[in-house]
């Protein structure tokens, strides 16, 4: 050992303490937590709806509205799938954004409304906005504002409010007879699966992680059983809750299994869930919304606190 050098144990402890301190600071910015160290997802702030009422400023119209989405984001992916299933490609335009990991923001591919980033767009809608700038964004090109940035609301809007403009208007992903069942399942799946994978990946204590990962795989087991005798979660036809589950399951083996420590089992280890993912993927228009390579790039390449080296894994092999 060179003279006056620190023993390896001291160096390791010092570096470990420094990295852990910096990791906590970065995680607190990326993923707010509670006292137990569990991830808390902030609420969306723009929650307006469309309607034909004279006093509603947001009336359905072809070409008026635009979706801002990131291909890696499961919440934005929901809106692309419903848009495709309903046949709204001609009525509602899409603008792509990509994450800039070193800046912590979304970049707009082709600048629009004199905006080059998503924060620019949010500030155009609300000049003093200081909240999170997330996708999806349902944008009104007429009033230059954000109608809604909550994916659960947007998919309901796309399902119900543009039937006169849709090429597949007869498809109803939220039928009145199933709404109670859909809502109950969506709530459960949101907590333990959709947001559950993030609660695993963004957990900042062992206790928080253990709770999240247990709830996640308990729910996956229940869903596997549910799909034993029916093709979709609510029976014979696809609904909004299937769309919500699919976008998480499609990403599961790609990124959540490894990067988010959801590695107890893979989706391919569940026969019914695997067949379910393949079934939805095969529906007209859905495959075109799925970009596995972009998903891996966005997660592994931009979530620096979880993957400091930025190395993108080659697998898994997809069939």
Q: CA 195, CA 250: separation in Å to the nearest integer?
A: 14
Measured from the Cβ of residue 308, the count of other Cβ atoms closer than 10 Å reads 12
Measured distance CA(167)–CA(268) in Å, rounded: 34
**Would you list the DSSP string of 15-40?**
HHHHHHHHHHHHHHHHS-B-TTS-B-
- Report the residue count for the chain: 319
Q: How are strands ordered across the β-sheet holding 105-112?
A: 115-117, 105-112, 93-100, 65-69, 137-140, 145-148
Rg (CA), the chain: 21
Confirm if 30 and 104 have CB atoms less than 8 A apart. Answer: yes
CA distances from 74 to 30, 31, 41, 215, 290 (A): 17, 17, 14, 20, 10
Catalytic residue among 174, 190, 198, 281: 198
Candidates 58, 65, 73, 256; catalytic one: 73
Closest C-alpha to 215, from 251, 234, 190, 233: 190
Active-site annotation holds for 244: no
What tokens appear for 10 in the block?
A: 């001291």
Torsion of CA 281, 101, 216, 289, to 10 degrees: -10
Is 198 among the residues known to form the active site? yes
DSSP letter, residue 128: T
Q: Which residues are known to be catalytic?
A: 73, 198
């Amino acid at each position: 050992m060179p003279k006056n050098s620190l023993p390896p144990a001291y160096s390791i402890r010092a570096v470990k303490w420094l990295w852990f301190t910096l990791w906590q600071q970065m995680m607190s910015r990326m993923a707010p937590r509670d006292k137990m160290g569990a991830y808390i997802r902030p609420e969306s702030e723009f929650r307006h709806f469309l309607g034909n009422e004279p006093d509603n400023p947001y009336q359905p119209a072809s070409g008026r509205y635009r979706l801002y989405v990131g291909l890696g984001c499961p919440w934005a992916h929901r809106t692309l799938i419903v848009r495709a299933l309903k046949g709204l490609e001609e009525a509602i335009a899409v603008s792509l954004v990509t994450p800039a990991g070193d800046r912590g923001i979304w970049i707009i591919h082709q600048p629009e409304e004199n905006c080059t980033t998503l924060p620019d767009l949010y500030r155009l809608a609300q000049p003093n906005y200081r909240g999170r700038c997330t996708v999806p964004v349902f944008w009104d090109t007429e009033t230059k504002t954000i109608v809604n940035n909550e994916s659960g609301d947007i998919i309901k809007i796309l399902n119900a409010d543009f039937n006169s403009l849709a090429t597949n208007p007869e498809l109803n992903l939220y039928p009145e007879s199933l709404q109670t069942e859909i809502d109950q399942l969506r709530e459960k799946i949101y907590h333990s699966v959709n947001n559950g994978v993030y609660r695993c990946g963004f957990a900042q204590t062992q206790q928080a992680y253990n709770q999240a990962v247990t709830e996640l795989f308990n729910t996956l087991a229940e869903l596997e059983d549910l799909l034993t005798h029916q093709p979709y979660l609510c029976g014979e036809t696809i609904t909004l809750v299937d769309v919500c589950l699919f976008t998480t399951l499609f990403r599961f083996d790609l990124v959540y299994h490894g990067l988010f420590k959801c590695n107890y089992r893979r989706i391919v280890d569940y026969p019914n869930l695997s067949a379910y993912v393949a079934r939805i993927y095969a529906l007209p228009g859905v495959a075109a919304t799925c970009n596995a390579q972009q998903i891996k790039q966005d997660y592994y390449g931009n979530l620096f606190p979880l993957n400091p080296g930025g190395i993108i894994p080659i697998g898994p092999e997809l069939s």
